[in-house]
Amino acid sequence: GVRGAKSESSVQWMTGDTAELIKTAKEHLENNELEDAYAIFGEAYDFAEMDEETEVLFYLGYTSYLMGDLPGTAGYLGDIIEVNTEADYFPNLLLFYGQVLAETFAFEDAIEWIQTYRDVETIDPSVKQTALLIEGISYSSLEDVENAKTALEASRSIDPESEVAKTAGTLLGELE
């Protein structure tokens, strides 16, 4: 996309450098300047090419979440069409969207989302462990005890000493 900028002589057309806008918005996000980050991510979305759109939607959703706008968060994340599993933000997207779906009681969607991406080879075992925990919680919320146990046991087995494993173990105890 392009936009016009007024100068003394004439209109100059400027292209939006989406990568630069994302970088600037992330800096605002790190400084907890949520409104500024949100506005700049919104501008980045206006200029985003298809390969940049998912990242911008992820960050718009994340910023909305931090601002307390859960419906807005779900809306942005729900607009994601293409997922690049090689992207550096992918593990965060996997867990965050799964969590948001579960928090909004879209348990079937959370399970489907997690199951679609949890076995991607590039994700860290701790990310997979947390994804399986979210899956187990979602199954438990649907009162599907067998699948909940399977997911929670799989989560616990990845790193039995981790906090995630302890949480999975507690939930497994509650399912007995």
What is this structure's pTM? Answer: 0.84
pLDDT at residue 13 tops 50? no
Enumerate helices (H) and strands (E) in the chain, giving the number of each.
9, 2
What are the pLDDT digits (tens) for 26-56? 999 999 999 999 999 999 999 999 889 999 9
pLDDT at residue 158 tops 50? yes
What are the pLDDT digits (tens) for 2-12? 444 444 444 43
What are the pLDDT digits (tens) for 52-105? 999 999 999 999 999 999 999 999 999 998 899 999 999 999 999 999 999 999
> Rounded CA gap, 167 and 4, in Å?
53
For the ranges 16-20, 43-47, 54-58, 148-152, which has the lowest average pLDDT? 16-20
pLDDT at 6: 42
Cβ–Cβ < 8 Å for 150, 168: no
Output b/e per residue, 53-71; b: 16+ Cβ within 10 A: bbbbbbbbbbbbbeeeeee
pLDDT at 16: 61
Tokens of 32: 């907890």
Cβ–Cβ < 8 Å for 25, 11: no
pLDDT at 2: 44
